[in-house]
Amino acid sequence: MIISGVAPELGGIKLAVIDQSKIRNFCIIAHIDHGKSTLADRIIEMTGLLTDREMQAQVLDNMELERERGITIKAQAVRTIYKADDGEEYMFNLIDTPGHVDFNYEVSRSLAACDGAILVVDAAQGVEAQTLANVYLALDHDLDVMPVINKIDLPSADPERVKEEIEDVIGLDAEDAPLISAKTGLNVHEVLEQIVEKIPAPAGDPDAPLKALIFDSKYDSYKGVIVFCRIKEGTVRKGTPMLMMATGARADVVEVGTFGAGQFIPCDELSAGMVGYITASLKNVKETRVGDTITNADHPCDEPLPGYKKVNPMVYCGLYPADGAKYPDLRDALEKLQLNDAALQFEAETSVALGFGFRCGFLGLLHLEIIQERLEREYNLDLVTTAPSVIYKIHKTDGEVIDLTNPTNMPDPSEIDYMEEPMVKAEIMVTSEYIGAIMDLCQERRGIYQSMEYIEEKRAVLHYHLPLNEIIYDFFDALKSRSRGYASFDYEMLGYQRSELVKLDILINKEEVDALSFIVFAGSAYERGRKMCEKLKQEIPRQLFEIPIQAAIGSKIIARETVKAMRKDVLAKCYGGDISRKKKLLEKQKEGKKRMRQVGNVEIPQKAFMSVLKLDDD
Amino acid sequence: MSKRGLELYVHIPFCVRKCAYCDFLSGPADDQTKRAYADALVREMRSVKEKYSNYRVDTVFLGGGTPSILEGDETARIFHALSEDFDISPDAEITMEVNPGTVSAEKAETWKACGVNRLSIGLQSADDGELKMLGRIHTFGQFLETWEIIRRAGFDNVNIDLISALPGQTAESWAKTLHTAAELGPEHISAYSLIVEEGTPFYEIYGEPEQGVQARSAAGQGRVLPPLPDEDEERGIYQATKEILDRYGYHRYEISNYAKEGYECRHNLGYWERKEYLGLGLGAASLVRERRFHNTADMEKYMGIFGEAKGGISDPASGEGAAEDFEELTLNDRMEEFIFLGLRKMEGISEQDFRRIFGKEIRQIYKDQIKKLTEQGLLAGAEGRIFLTERGIDISNYVFSEFIF
């Protein structure tokens, strides 16, 4: 099959017409830090599409935040041309998948756009929980998985053990797995050759009705929505009338093209087997949901590609501008972020303590943190975040069932028949010496033990069912600290379960602070209340009078701390006439006051609202 | 036409050894450096004299460091240059800071001859254990020797510097220091409370103060020192100061300063009253014509400008010399300063002065702040003045910061 089209000059390689058998669509899957992005960089570099100058470290993670955190947040794609040892030129479409459980659905859609996957395993760390989860996901999509062992230049590298592990635990043949160092480029050539050899070419009929899978979309202020897609069947070109089968959105194609490194390269058409982008004057990514199928509105296909679902937020919290006057700015910023992030939801709400703000829904805690950081960095907003909450189902005595996303809206206990909370199925991989510590942690977090299996002599997988609200705060941190970083963790949603839950209120100087209320398991309420009070005592600066801090369930006080009255605050030494310095100190103090929220007659620093989120003190 | 008043501050950035709490611009130096610095000071004066020819100097303060570390002839050279280059009022207050261990009868005679009429002597504590811990170079006995020398030389306006809230200090040991100092009968006593400043050895040990709490244990931090006094102890220490000094006839005229009637330090009062002052020497700060600035704190840079090799700068009268960080004070800055500096004085600020200087009513401009702080019992008013209450003194920073925009 021949794909006609432009043959742009790229990095000195004249692109000849490439037939479908010369296309390789693949992704790289790995546990965090096992070297996925570094390998991607090397592949791009060694296929010669980038000059050294263009080669910014980790080309694919192009959001500043992604580079800093080393996490891929949005799927990315890049097309490169590889001249193989057989003398032929191959078109590689490398699709980078998000690397976090919050974005599991996006991962699955990215995988569906590929025909094969490179599995990167750290030669020292071996197989981790995320590796397993990602491999299973890839196998579910019938991808051919090709293992690669990375970081063999590390002194602690043990490639033979890791090979065995891959074979025993995952059941993949690791005999020929290239032993590489993505950092130095060692043996990466072998990876390129194996991509040609082991990853199947795409199939699909370019003359069939159009069927394209959306695996990501982003909003660009010039082009409108840019849809990232894999053409499964048919051909799309400028002017093709598109129909998104799930959302029902329609638009005529304005431009199609492929992915250069960090740039879009327009071409005449995309046909079956190709990965590329489509623009049409669409204004919102809500219309081009990840997983949806694009077809030709005039010649639609019979049925959409399988697997589409609408992702819903799992975690909610209130976001408030630190400076109340910035409320419209926050709204604008959220609207802009939402253009690119269909999973982000928000609606206006008000809090007695924090004023006007938004209740926002996120896929998970990482998603929340990322949005929060982007708002602060890219939109220069100072934010106050309330404690994250999951969605509780409240069954009222009158038979009504409500989804509770904001603790403040909890009905009076007398109206509640019972409550349910979301549960997850968790897999924790841990070395044997820390099994006890991790089981203790799961126990404390109300985990229900399911099973445990040893994947090798010294490592086991623990299976637990855990309430989602127990892992959204600081479970990752606790897991890492109690296993000295050796445990890895993955989870998926399980469903709702009936539970004894109460609303815990915090009273500061006898006044309830709505932004600090949260829902907690009845059995943990006492402990949590006590910790909250202790934490707040540290965060609230002394004021002119004594301030009681109380935790209460209904009208019952369960914990109390006191912030003593301010005693002494004097700048005694002041001579040599250095007034400017003294003034700076006073200005700093005044600045601190501006960052306070007045609740009743008490000033509460904004960071107090957030510090209570991290209560694990192990 | 009468001249404008000016205060002069001259900085001597040298001492025998840096004390453990000290974050001032000062350190040990060899004789050659000190001599070269004194020469540079003289050149700096020469370079600015034209600019200040319309001023009459009311006070001079030779501070440090330890100015008494200079040899008599060096000190004399500095004062000689001062009197040549500036119009110094015949009744000017001329203060010099001295420290025990660097004072001799000969030096004291020289100072006297130079016109120094007020000395400020750093005692800090009457307890030898506390002195050692502070890293002072002297004992209480050595202080007494210095005291004798300067009294015998005829200095009859002398301040003693004390520091409270020291590590391990109790209300009793502080009271003992106060009694001991007051019984000597100095004309003035400064009683500062210890502030652990960044960059000092104490900071290494005690770190950043937790909010409002000074009591932290120093155990396990290398150098074994007692903890800072806890809150109740410190409060006792703080209250004792005024009570005890009152009994000896010292009245508190500023947050940390006590004097016998008529012996208030005019130079320091000038700072609180926003009088114009010029700082000479390394890092010295100035307020001239509603502009704040200070000299470079970089010795090499300073010597590069006024050191011998340069022989002064080409056009000293028009250049800025070693001055940097110029800050033009806006009307708002000036009003803020008027308040937060003026309130340091126990007599507080005068509504009429405010009206005269700014042409506005203080009670209108700061209506909300004054109302709130008065209700909180931190400010009081009487006879056209606004001043801190006892409670307001305790938390004066809180009060001042309310007036900052």
Q: What is the full DSSP assignment across B11-67?
A: EE-B-SS--TT--SS-B---HHHHHHHHHHHHHHHHHHTTTTTTEEEEEEEEEES-G
Confidence of residue B269 (pLDDT cuts 50, 70, 90): very high
For the ranges A69-73, A166-170, A272-276, A305-309, the lowest mean pLDDT is seen at A69-73
Q: Find the mean pLDDT for residues A357-377.
A: 87
ipTM of the complex: 0.81
Q: Are A569 and B279 in contact (CB < 8 Å)? A: no
Strand pairing class (A275-279; A241-244):
unpaired
Confidence of residue A366 (pLDDT cuts 50, 70, 90): confident
Say if residue A329's pLDDT is above 80: yes
∠ CA A288-A291-A294, nearest 5°, is 60
CA distance B383 to chain A (A): 26
Q: Find the mean pLDDT for residues A480-490.
A: 80
SS3 at position A227:
strand
CA distance B142 to chain A (A): 25
**DSSP characters over A538-590:** HHSPP-SS-EEEEEEETTEEEEEEEEPPP---------TT-HHHHHHHHHHHH
Say if residue A69's pLDDT is above 90: no
* Closest Cβ–Cβ partner in B395, B401, B405 for A568: B395
Please give the pLDDT value at position B317: 44
Q: Are A572 and B256 in contact (CB < 8 Å)? A: yes
* Closest Cβ–Cβ partner in B255, B402, B404 for A570: B255
Q: Omega before B262 cis (within 30°)?
A: no
Q: Find the mean pLDDT for residues A3-32.
A: 62
Confidence of residue A216 (pLDDT cuts 50, 70, 90): confident
Q: Are A576 and B193 in contact (CB < 8 Å)? A: no
Please give the pLDDT value at position A100: 63
Confidence of residue A59 (pLDDT cuts 50, 70, 90): very low
Q: Are B11 and A576 in contact (CB < 8 Å)? A: yes
Please give the pLDDT value at position B316: 47
Which tens digit of pLDDT belongs to each residue from B291-310? 999 999 999 999 999 987 65
Q: What percent of chain A has pLDDT over 90?
A: 39
Q: Find the mean pLDDT for residues A301-307.
A: 88
Non-local CB neighbours of B350 within 8 Å, separated by 6+ positions: B384, B385
**Assigned token pair, B17:** 């050894």
**Assigned token pair, B387:** 């001043």
Nearest to A104 by CA among A290, A359, A321: A290
Task: Collect all residues from A whose CB is shorter than 8 A from any CB in B.
Answer: 541-542, 544, 564, 566-580, 583, 585-587, 589-590, 593
* Chain mean position to CA B85: 24
Best interface-test mutation with B: which of A543, A568, A580 has the largest number of B CBs within 10 A?
A: A568
Confidence of residue A18 (pLDDT cuts 50, 70, 90): low
- End-to-end Cα distance, chain A: 61
Confidence of residue A405 (pLDDT cuts 50, 70, 90): confident
Please give the pLDDT value at position B218: 42
For the ranges A326-340, A357-371, A559-573, B243-257, the lowest mean pLDDT is seen at A559-573
Q: Find the mean pLDDT for residues A453-462.
A: 83
Please give the pLDDT value at position B238: 80
Confidence of residue A6 (pLDDT cuts 50, 70, 90): very low
Please give the pLDDT value at position A138: 85
* Closest Cβ–Cβ partner in A570, A575, A579 for B193: A570
In order of A20, A43, A92, A146, B53, the CA distances from A180 in angstroms are 29, 12, 20, 13, 79
Say if residue A498's pLDDT is above 90: yes
Tokens 């409550």 found at: A419
CATH number for B331-401 (one of 3.30.2310, 1.10.10, 1.20.120, 1.20.58): it is 1.10.10
In order of A291, A515, A602, the CA distances from A551 in angstroms are 45, 13, 16
pTM tops 0.80, yes or no = no
Q: What percent of chain B has pLDDT over 70?
A: 93
Confidence of residue A599 (pLDDT cuts 50, 70, 90): confident
Best interface-test mutation with A: which of B400, B402, B403, B405 has the largest number of A CBs within 10 A?
A: B400
Residues B66 and B97: beta-carbon distance below 8 Å: yes
Please give the pLDDT value at position A48: 60
Structure letter (DSSP) for residue A181: B
* Stronger pLDDT, A401 or A311, i.e. the higher one: A401
Confidence of residue A565 (pLDDT cuts 50, 70, 90): confident
* Closest Cβ–Cβ partner in A542, A571, A578 for B211: A542
Other residues' Cβ atoms within 10 Å of the Cβ of residue B374: 15
Q: What percent of chain B has pLDDT over 90?
A: 76
Q: Are B405 and A544 in contact (CB < 8 Å)? A: no
Interface of B with A in 66-125 (CB under 8 A): none
Q: Are B396 and A542 in contact (CB < 8 Å)? A: no
Please give the pLDDT value at position A66: 47
Please give the pLDDT value at position A131: 79
* Closest Cβ–Cβ partner in B285, B395, B396 for A576: B285
Say if residue A5's pLDDT is above 60: no
Please give the pLDDT value at position A606: 78
* Chain mean position to CA A105: 10
Instruction: Give the chain B residue whose CA is nearest to the CA of A580.
Output: B292
Confidence of residue A71 (pLDDT cuts 50, 70, 90): very low
Best interface-test mutation with A: which of B95, B194, B256, B389 has the largest number of A CBs within 10 A?
A: B256
Fold classification of B4-272 is TIM Barrel (3.20.20)
**Assigned token pair, B71:** 């040899």
Q: Are A566 and B212 in contact (CB < 8 Å)? A: yes
Residues B237 and B169: beta-carbon distance below 8 Å: yes
CA distance B192 to chain A (A): 5
Confidence of residue B224 (pLDDT cuts 50, 70, 90): low
Nearest to B10 by CA among B106, B105, B75: B75
CA distance A546 to chain B (A): 13
Q: Find the mean pLDDT for residues A467-486.
A: 82
Please give the pLDDT value at position A2: 34
Confidence of residue A58 (pLDDT cuts 50, 70, 90): very low
Sign of CA dihedral A485, A491, A497, A501: positive
Whether B211 and chain A come into contact, CB under 8 Å, resolves to yes
* Stronger pLDDT, B16 or A73, i.e. the higher one: B16
Please give the pLDDT value at position A261: 62
For the ranges A64-73, A213-222, A362-371, B353-362, the lowest mean pLDDT is seen at A64-73
Residues B6 and B121: beta-carbon distance below 8 Å: no
CA distance B294 to chain A (A): 8
Mean pLDDT of chain B, nearest integer: 90
Say if residue B336's pLDDT is above 80: yes
Whether B366 and chain A come into contact, CB under 8 Å, resolves to no
For the ranges A382-391, B28-37, B147-156, the lowest mean pLDDT is seen at A382-391
**Domain assignments of chain B as residue spans, ordered by start:** 4-272, 331-401
Confidence of residue B104 (pLDDT cuts 50, 70, 90): very high
In order of A233, A577, B278, B283, the CA distances from B45 in angstroms are 88, 18, 10, 15
CA distance A356 to chain B (A): 25
A vs B: CB pairs below 8 A: 107
Non-local CB neighbours of A458 within 8 Å, separated by 6+ positions: A431, A432
Nearest to A171 by CA among A216, A127, A120: A127
